[in-house]
Amino acid sequence: MMRMIKEPNKARQADSAASPSLHLRQWRGAAALGRSTMKLRVAATIFCLWVGLPIHAQQTQSEFTAPSGQHSIKLIPASTESEPDRGELKLCAGQKILASYTVIGYITEVFWSPEDKYVALENRWANGGDYVWVFHLNDGAVVKRPDELQSDPQVAYGLNALIQRIKQKLPEYKKGGFYKRTTHFVSWKSASDFELESIVGFTHVGDSYADVLDTYHISKTRLSLLDSKIEKKEMNSSNNSRQTDSGASPFPKLRHWPGAAAL
């Protein structure tokens, strides 16, 4: 699922510039829409992980413009056939390029913060993992990079820290082996606070998964974890249908997810 962000017309830009309260109401409406559609996206993600389908159809949009019209993101495909999945991500203020980064894959969604302070985007290249970037729109500096591309194993949004928090909250997962996680950007709660939701699956723990909703605060280019809500949720038993030729599940419950046999 990919939410396309249309470039606003000049009249809408003029209205936003003339009326900050109108811009704030538009942002609040967008934030509420993001929260209301998150349940649908989580359900779709769980289903795709379960049956082994790609989480997002590989459709691409190469340019995204902020509602204010002052900033934009451009994804320039690689010019060589040897690296067809690579591209150049450019953050722009008007015609000025603030920063440029080499990325893999495609952009599925973009989330502009109120006041045009930050932008978050999902730069997906597989069907599981954390592919959320957050940039400062003042100079294009990275606030958060995808987990696979950051070097600190204990960063709050990193996989190690995430698993530790889950096992502290849900002791029944302490004996479970990690299988897969997918992380999505949910919404901006304010100009500097945002939410990430992670769905984390474990082996040997029955027909359930951990749903983690984290709230982060940005101070310049540093992140701090403000709040973490962790819940155990049950899979729909009707989805538990993968079986071997003998009729028995190769792994009980979540262990029959695609690829879990390799753990």
Map out the domains of the chain as residue ranges: 10-262
**Which is nearest to 227 in space by CA: 178, 171, 186?**
186
Confidence of residue 84 (pLDDT cuts 50, 70, 90): low
Confidence of residue 154 (pLDDT cuts 50, 70, 90): confident
Pick the most confident of 2-6, 27-31, 55-59, 75-79.
75-79
Of residues 217 and 124, more confidence is placed in 217
Mean pLDDT value of segment 10-31: 44
Using the CB atoms, write b or e for 210-220: b if 16+ within 10 Å: bbbebbbebee
Three-state secondary-structure class, residue 106: strand
Mean pLDDT value of segment 202-213: 87
Say how many residues make up the chain.
263
pLDDT value, residue 248: 34
Residue 123 has pLDDT above 80, yes or no: yes
Mean pLDDT value of segment 78-104: 87
Torsion-angle region of 216 (φ positive above 0: left; ψ -120 to 50: alpha; else: beta): beta
pLDDT value, residue 39: 52
Which pairing describes strands 118-124 and 132-136: parallel, antiparallel, or unpaired?
antiparallel
Pick the most confident of 36-50, 68-82, 124-138, 212-226.
212-226
Residue 66 has pLDDT above 90, yes or no: yes
**Burial degree of 243 (CB within 10 A; 0-12, 13-18, 19+):** exposed
The set of residues, in sequence order, having a beta carbon less than 8 Å from that of 33 and lying 6+ positions away, is none
Q: How many other CB atoms are there within 10 angstroms of residue 238's CB atom?
A: 6
User: Model confidence over 33-57: pLDDT tens digits?
Assistant: 444 545 545 454 444 444 444 444 4
Question: Where do we find the tokens 């413009």?
Answer: 65
Four-point Cα dihedral 251, 256, 258, 262, nearest 10: -20
- DSSP type of residue 6: P
pLDDT value, residue 249: 30
Q: What is the DSSP string of 140-190?
A: --EEE--GGG-S-TTSTTSHHHHHHHHHHH-GGGTTPEEEEEEEEEEEESS
**Structural contact between residues 218 and 156, judged by C-beta atoms closer than 8 angstroms:** no
Residue 260 has pLDDT above 90, yes or no: no
The set of residues, in sequence order, having a beta carbon less than 8 Å from that of 103 and lying 6+ positions away, is 75, 86, 87, 88, 89, 123
pLDDT value, residue 41: 54
